Amino acid sequence: MSTASQHKPVDTRPEKIIKLEKKMRRKEGGKKLNRSMAGNTLLFIIMGISGLFMVLPLVMIVNNALKPLDEIYQFPPRIFVRNPTLTNFSDLFVLMNESWVPFSRYIFNTIIISLGGMLGHVIVASMAAYPLAKHKFPGKALLFSMVVLSMMFSWTVTQIPQYLIISWLGINNTYAALVLPAWAFGMGLYLMKQFMEQLPDSLMESARLQGANEWQIFWQIVMPNVRPAWLTLAIFQFQQMWGNTGGMFLRNEELKPLQYALQQITSGGVSRAGAGAAVTFIIAAIPIIFFLICQSSILETMTTSGMKD
Amino acid sequence: MSAAKKRKFRLNYEQRNAMRGYAFILPWLIGFLVFYAGCLFQLVRFSVMDIKIDATTGTRLDTFVGFDNFITAFTAHASFKQVLTSSLIDMVIDLPLIIFFSLFVALLLNRKFRGRALVRAIFFLPIILSADAVGSAITRATELMNNGVSAQAAEMAGGGAVSVSYYISLFGDLAIPPTILEYLVGAVNRIASIIKGSGVQIILFIAALQSIPGSLYEVAKIEGATGYETLWKVTVPMVMPHIITNTIYTLVDRFTTSEVMRLANETYQKYNYGLSSVFSLVATTATILILGVIVYLLNKRAFYYN
């Protein structure tokens, strides 16, 4: 890791500078610069509270899934479970076995749709983001404003034209009806462009001087260096696709995704509340597990090592 | 083909570069044009049409009505104007709060401390929790808690809650200007939604902070700058372009989840296609205008390194 990533670089500086700094510290009464106990405590409290806000729904989901039915409807409602059981999950499995289409089929559909939409979107969006971030060509500003604009429209409002287009393409009632439109979302392109802009130009220049063509630069220089970005995007997109119920495009029961089946279960009302809580847990758990797998690479330093500032 | 003719088609360096750029964008562009550009065009078309679905045959009947839908939206519709202004104001209020909060969190998360991975994961959670699937799952879970016996019991029990308005009036007595007070109260009410809406911004800011060359901080230190000065003289100017980026992202994100869009969707689901297109168009245009003004103002202050 280069020193560029830290505010407090490792002391590899000349002796003279270190001495100077020590002298300055003495002037401040030997204290660490600008850091007080009270300030730290305040920060800790603020961060703690906002962190709590973020974790709370998750805690609630987990606990709800473990509650027996009478505790789910208990008043006043409790966050933490008292007598944890797994009945909700066993109920859910009983329900699953009763379904007309084998449950594994729903899972298979969801995996195809989620992974297909995710991989395609990450690749297509990254490819489009690379020239927008690092090349100069006419029409660039126009293209980019198109991207921003496309992010702003509510797709509920354009359902009819979208349906017409999908049937015109003849991909109605296939996986492609969900997967292909996902490839052309604007959001991923926008995020990837912002990350790619931070790559130093000299990185690409040196590759170019070594005789790499643009395709090689993209796959071997740009993409490995913005790995945190496209992993973030992958998670983001996976979630979007994971939540897809197939809507109006998938009519065959054998093509419907898991979300749809789970929704059917939760709409069963009070008697299914337990199974519903288990469903909620499953819906939330998969993206979080996916996140935890990628987590170590996300939010880590964007590689600028190998560069001499 | 002769050599002379071939030369005619040879592009210069810049043109070749541009062609490569287009080639990379092409897959996305095709997708965009096929799936979305047509929809945008239709949206505009719908806004000047009266669209009815024939109940018996299921065919769509479009009649051109000019600006009737617009006139209805602004004069006859019960709540459009109020919803539009309130959601635009909401966006503008939320914007600085989200930007400051996410920059603040990013600054903290960018430092080295024990358990950083866990804290980062926690602050990344909003992105996961704001996803459609998980979001609706959470709503469903809360509904489960509210619908049953507990809701009735809560109604009966009511009245024991802390009176917020009492505290507000208490602060009012301290001679804090009411507008500032309202903004603060509003901000406190928004905490949850602000935290939820700042996940991506935090990530973008962390990436931005890490791209600041360490040498700048070294120089600042040697010159004897305090941490506070370093923040305002080095960090903030260096992340300024990213503040613009995040501003755009935040506004767009807030917009798509705003009340006015919900109104448009609701109207749409009531088969009032023309009117909902108008709502969507007007709101989008207004947001773009706001976006333009803010980005213009920020751009004047921005400073581009490199």
**CB neighbour burial string for A264-282, b if at least 16 within 10 angstroms, e if fewer:** ebbeeeeebbbbbbbbbbe
**Residue B63 one-letter amino acid:** T
Alpha-carbon distance of A236 to B131, in angstroms, equals 8
Cα-based distances in Å from A61 to A43, A165, B46, B122, B250? 28, 39, 42, 15, 27
| Sequential pLDDT tens for chain B (306 residues) | 455 555 556 677 777 778 888 888 898 889 888 888 888 888 888 888 777 777 677 677 777 777 777 887 788 777 888 888 888 888 888 888 889 888 988 888 777 777 776 777 777 766 666 555 566 656 655 555 554 444 433 443 333 344 455 555 665 666 666 677 676 667 666 776 777 777 778 877 887 787 777 888 888 889 888 888 888 888 888 888 888 888 888 888 888 878 888 888 888 777 777 888 888 888 888 888 898 898 888 887 776 654
Alpha helices (H) in A170-309, listed in sequence order = 176-183, 186-196, 201-209, 214-216, 223-225, 227-242, 258-266, 273-295
* Mutation for A interface: B13, B39, B232, B276, most A CBs within 10 A: B39
Dig out the tokens for A105 from the structure.
């089929």
Neighbours of B203 (CB within 10 A): 25
Assess whether the previous peptide bond of A76 is cis (omega < 30° from 0).
yes
CB pairs under 8 A between A and B: 291
Alpha-carbon distance of A241 to B239, in angstroms, equals 32
CA distance B128 to chain A (A): 7
pTM higher than 0.90: no
User: Which residue from B43, B123, B136 is facing A157, i.e. has the nearest CB?
Assistant: B43
Contact list in A for residue B269 (CB cut-off 8 A) is 156
Of the CATH numbers 3.40.50.12780, 2.70.150.10, 3.40.50.1100, 1.10.3720.10, which one belongs to the domain with range A95-295? 1.10.3720.10
Structural domain spans, chain B: 84-146+191-301
Say which CATH architecture domain B84-146+191-301 belongs to: Orthogonal Bundle (1.10)
> How many CA atoms, within 13 angstroms, populate the side-chain half-sphere of residue A267?
6
Alpha-carbon distance of A85 to A69, in angstroms, equals 10
| Sequential pLDDT tens for chain A (309 residues) | 444 444 555 666 677 777 777 666 665 554 454 556 777 788 778 778 777 777 777 787 788 788 887 777 666 666 777 888 888 888 888 877 777 777 788 888 888 898 999 999 999 999 999 998 888 888 888 888 888 887 776 666 677 778 888 888 888 888 888 888 888 888 888 888 888 887 888 888 888 898 888 888 899 888 888 877 788 788 778 877 887 777 778 888 788 888 787 777 767 666 677 777 787 788 778 877 777 777 666 555 444 444 444
Interface touch A24/B224, C-beta < 8 Å:
yes
Share of chain A above pLDDT 70, in %: 79
The pLDDT value given to residue B141: 57
How high is the ipTM of this complex? 0.71
CB A227 within 8 A of CB A297: yes
